[in-house]
Amino acid sequence: MGRDDERDVLDRMGRGLVYTESEAVFLDERRRADLIFAYNHTPPGEADKRRSLLRAILGSVGERPALHPPFSAAFGSNVHIGDDFFGNVNLAFVDDVEIRIGHGVMTAPSVTLTTTGHPVHPARRVDFARFSEPIVIEDKVWIGSNVVVLPGVRIGYGSVIGAGSVVAKDVPPMVVAVGTPCRVLRDITDDDLTTRTSAADR
Protein backbone atom coordinates (compact mmCIF):
# COMPACT_ATOMS: atom_id res chain seq x y z
CA MET A 1 0.00 0.00 0.00
CA GLY A 2 1.42 3.39 -1.03
CA ARG A 3 1.35 6.70 0.79
CA ASP A 4 -1.61 7.93 -1.26
CA ASP A 5 -3.59 4.82 -0.31
CA GLU A 6 -2.75 5.34 3.36
CA ARG A 7 -3.86 8.96 3.18
CA ASP A 8 -7.12 7.85 1.56
CA VAL A 9 -7.79 5.39 4.41
CA LEU A 10 -6.99 8.02 7.04
CA ASP A 11 -9.30 10.47 5.27
CA ARG A 12 -12.16 7.95 5.29
CA MET A 13 -11.52 7.14 8.94
CA GLY A 14 -11.57 10.84 9.76
CA ARG A 15 -14.97 11.22 8.08
CA GLY A 16 -16.51 8.16 9.78
CA LEU A 17 -16.64 6.16 6.53
CA VAL A 18 -16.10 2.43 6.10
CA TYR A 19 -12.61 0.97 5.81
CA THR A 20 -11.32 -2.61 6.05
CA GLU A 21 -8.80 -4.52 8.16
CA SER A 22 -6.43 -4.94 5.24
CA GLU A 23 -6.59 -1.26 4.37
CA ALA A 24 -5.77 -0.23 7.95
CA VAL A 25 -2.96 -2.72 8.59
CA PHE A 26 -0.34 0.04 8.28
CA LEU A 27 -1.65 1.44 11.58
CA ASP A 28 -0.65 -1.67 13.53
CA GLU A 29 2.66 -0.09 14.57
CA ARG A 30 0.63 2.20 16.83
CA ARG A 31 -0.71 -0.72 18.88
CA ARG A 32 0.66 -1.11 22.42
CA ALA A 33 -0.37 -4.73 23.09
CA ASP A 34 2.89 -5.84 24.73
CA LEU A 35 3.00 -2.80 27.01
CA ILE A 36 -0.66 -3.33 27.99
CA PHE A 37 0.15 -6.95 28.83
CA ALA A 38 3.07 -5.79 30.98
CA TYR A 39 0.89 -3.21 32.76
CA ASN A 40 -1.79 -5.78 33.54
CA HIS A 41 0.83 -8.11 35.05
CA THR A 42 2.71 -5.52 37.12
CA PRO A 43 2.42 -6.17 40.88
CA PRO A 44 0.29 -3.66 42.81
CA GLY A 45 3.29 -2.51 44.85
CA GLU A 46 5.16 -1.30 41.75
CA ALA A 47 3.22 1.95 41.33
CA ASP A 48 6.10 3.80 39.66
CA LYS A 49 6.45 1.07 37.04
CA ARG A 50 2.72 1.19 36.36
CA ARG A 51 2.81 4.95 35.90
CA SER A 52 5.77 4.67 33.54
CA LEU A 53 4.05 1.97 31.47
CA LEU A 54 0.82 3.97 31.31
CA ARG A 55 2.69 6.97 29.91
CA ALA A 56 4.25 4.71 27.27
CA ILE A 57 0.89 3.14 26.36
CA LEU A 58 -1.44 6.13 26.14
CA GLY A 59 -1.30 9.02 23.69
CA SER A 60 -1.20 11.38 26.68
CA VAL A 61 -1.91 11.12 30.38
CA GLY A 62 -2.30 13.77 33.07
CA GLU A 63 -1.26 13.82 36.71
CA ARG A 64 -2.30 11.25 39.34
CA PRO A 65 -3.88 8.62 37.06
CA ALA A 66 -5.35 5.49 38.65
CA LEU A 67 -6.19 2.65 36.28
CA HIS A 68 -6.83 -0.71 37.90
CA PRO A 69 -5.79 -3.72 35.84
CA PRO A 70 -6.80 -5.50 33.85
CA PHE A 71 -7.70 -3.08 31.09
CA SER A 72 -7.68 -3.52 27.32
CA ALA A 73 -7.17 -1.28 24.31
CA ALA A 74 -7.18 -1.80 20.57
CA PHE A 75 -4.23 0.59 20.31
CA GLY A 76 -3.77 2.52 23.55
CA SER A 77 -1.92 5.26 21.70
CA ASN A 78 -5.21 6.88 20.64
CA VAL A 79 -6.36 7.37 24.25
CA HIS A 80 -5.81 10.73 25.98
CA ILE A 81 -6.73 11.22 29.64
CA GLY A 82 -6.56 14.25 31.89
CA ASP A 83 -5.59 14.73 35.53
CA ASP A 84 -7.08 12.68 38.38
CA PHE A 85 -8.52 9.95 36.19
CA PHE A 86 -9.87 6.85 37.94
CA GLY A 87 -10.56 3.74 35.89
CA ASN A 88 -11.81 0.62 37.66
CA VAL A 89 -11.17 -2.96 36.51
CA ASN A 90 -12.01 -4.26 33.02
CA LEU A 91 -12.06 -0.88 31.30
CA ALA A 92 -12.01 -1.44 27.52
CA PHE A 93 -10.82 1.21 25.06
CA VAL A 94 -11.71 0.38 21.44
CA ASP A 95 -9.58 3.25 20.25
CA ASP A 96 -9.20 2.88 16.49
CA VAL A 97 -9.51 6.68 16.56
CA GLU A 98 -9.16 9.11 19.47
CA ILE A 99 -10.79 8.80 22.86
CA ARG A 100 -10.35 12.06 24.79
CA ILE A 101 -11.11 12.04 28.51
CA GLY A 102 -11.03 15.18 30.63
CA HIS A 103 -9.96 15.87 34.23
CA GLY A 104 -11.54 14.20 37.24
CA VAL A 105 -13.33 11.47 35.26
CA MET A 106 -14.27 8.21 36.99
CA THR A 107 -15.30 4.89 35.44
CA ALA A 108 -16.75 1.98 37.39
CA PRO A 109 -15.96 -1.69 36.58
CA SER A 110 -16.46 -3.12 33.08
CA VAL A 111 -16.96 0.09 31.10
CA THR A 112 -16.47 -0.07 27.31
CA LEU A 113 -15.60 3.00 25.25
CA THR A 114 -15.80 1.96 21.60
CA THR A 115 -15.02 4.32 18.75
CA THR A 116 -15.72 1.63 16.17
CA GLY A 117 -18.80 -0.08 14.74
CA HIS A 118 -19.58 -2.21 11.70
CA PRO A 119 -22.03 -1.87 8.79
CA VAL A 120 -25.41 -3.48 9.31
CA HIS A 121 -25.52 -5.40 6.01
CA PRO A 122 -23.29 -8.51 6.11
CA ALA A 123 -22.05 -7.92 2.56
CA ARG A 124 -20.39 -4.73 3.83
CA ARG A 125 -18.59 -6.51 6.69
CA VAL A 126 -16.14 -8.43 4.46
CA ASP A 127 -12.53 -8.14 5.70
CA PHE A 128 -13.85 -6.87 9.06
CA ALA A 129 -15.05 -3.64 7.45
CA ARG A 130 -15.80 -0.95 10.01
CA PHE A 131 -16.19 2.75 10.69
CA SER A 132 -14.76 4.82 13.52
CA GLU A 133 -15.74 8.09 15.20
CA PRO A 134 -14.00 9.73 18.18
CA ILE A 135 -15.38 9.77 21.72
CA VAL A 136 -15.08 12.80 24.04
CA ILE A 137 -15.73 12.60 27.77
CA GLU A 138 -15.59 16.02 29.40
CA ASP A 139 -14.32 16.88 32.91
CA LYS A 140 -15.88 15.44 36.09
CA VAL A 141 -17.97 12.76 34.36
CA TRP A 142 -18.82 9.59 36.30
CA ILE A 143 -19.63 6.47 34.28
CA GLY A 144 -21.31 3.55 36.07
CA SER A 145 -20.62 -0.18 35.84
CA ASN A 146 -21.14 -2.05 32.58
CA VAL A 147 -21.77 1.11 30.53
CA VAL A 148 -21.07 1.02 26.77
CA VAL A 149 -20.28 4.31 25.04
CA LEU A 150 -20.67 4.07 21.25
CA PRO A 151 -18.81 5.80 18.38
CA GLY A 152 -19.02 9.57 18.05
CA VAL A 153 -20.49 10.25 21.49
CA ARG A 154 -19.65 13.29 23.65
CA ILE A 155 -20.57 13.23 27.35
CA GLY A 156 -20.83 16.71 28.84
CA TYR A 157 -19.20 18.16 31.95
CA GLY A 158 -20.19 16.66 35.29
CA SER A 159 -22.75 14.21 33.98
CA VAL A 160 -23.45 10.79 35.48
CA ILE A 161 -24.17 7.75 33.31
CA GLY A 162 -26.16 5.09 35.16
CA ALA A 163 -24.96 1.49 35.37
CA GLY A 164 -25.77 -0.74 32.42
CA SER A 165 -26.51 2.12 30.01
CA VAL A 166 -25.75 2.07 26.28
CA VAL A 167 -24.82 5.61 25.24
CA ALA A 168 -25.55 6.07 21.54
CA LYS A 169 -26.07 9.86 21.45
CA ASP A 170 -24.45 12.90 23.04
CA VAL A 171 -25.23 13.59 26.70
CA PRO A 172 -25.42 17.26 27.79
CA PRO A 173 -23.53 18.64 30.80
CA MET A 174 -24.73 18.21 34.40
CA VAL A 175 -27.39 15.56 33.96
CA VAL A 176 -28.07 12.03 35.14
CA ALA A 177 -28.64 9.80 32.11
CA VAL A 178 -29.59 6.12 32.18
CA GLY A 179 -30.96 3.29 30.09
CA THR A 180 -30.68 1.41 26.83
CA PRO A 181 -30.60 3.54 24.83
CA CYS A 182 -29.32 6.09 27.34
CA ARG A 183 -31.64 9.05 27.95
CA VAL A 184 -31.49 12.06 30.25
CA LEU A 185 -33.32 11.30 33.48
CA ARG A 186 -32.88 14.65 35.23
CA ASP A 187 -30.60 17.61 35.81
CA ILE A 188 -27.92 17.62 38.48
CA THR A 189 -28.69 20.51 40.86
CA ASP A 190 -27.54 21.90 44.21
CA ASP A 191 -30.09 19.58 45.83
CA ASP A 192 -27.67 16.77 45.00
CA LEU A 193 -25.15 18.27 47.41
CA THR A 194 -27.24 16.88 50.29
CA THR A 195 -28.44 13.56 48.89
CA ARG A 196 -25.73 11.61 50.75
CA THR A 197 -24.30 12.29 54.18
CA SER A 198 -21.01 14.19 53.87
CA ALA A 199 -18.17 14.28 56.35
CA ALA A 200 -19.25 17.81 57.32
CA ASP A 201 -22.65 16.47 58.42
CA ARG A 202 -21.25 14.00 60.92
DSSP 19: B
Task: Respond yes or no: is residue 118 known to be catalytic.
Answer: yes
Alpha-carbon dihedral 137, 142, 145, 146, rounded to 10 degrees: -20
Catalytic residue among 41, 68, 118, 121: 118
Q: How many other C-beta atoms can be found within 10 angstroms of the C-beta atom of residue 77?
A: 20
Q: How many other C-beta atoms can be found within 10 angstroms of the C-beta atom of residue 41?
A: 9
Treating both helix axes as pointing N-terminal to C-terminal, what angle do 33-40 and 47-57 enclose, rounded to 10 degrees?
A: 160
User: Active-site positions?
Assistant: 118
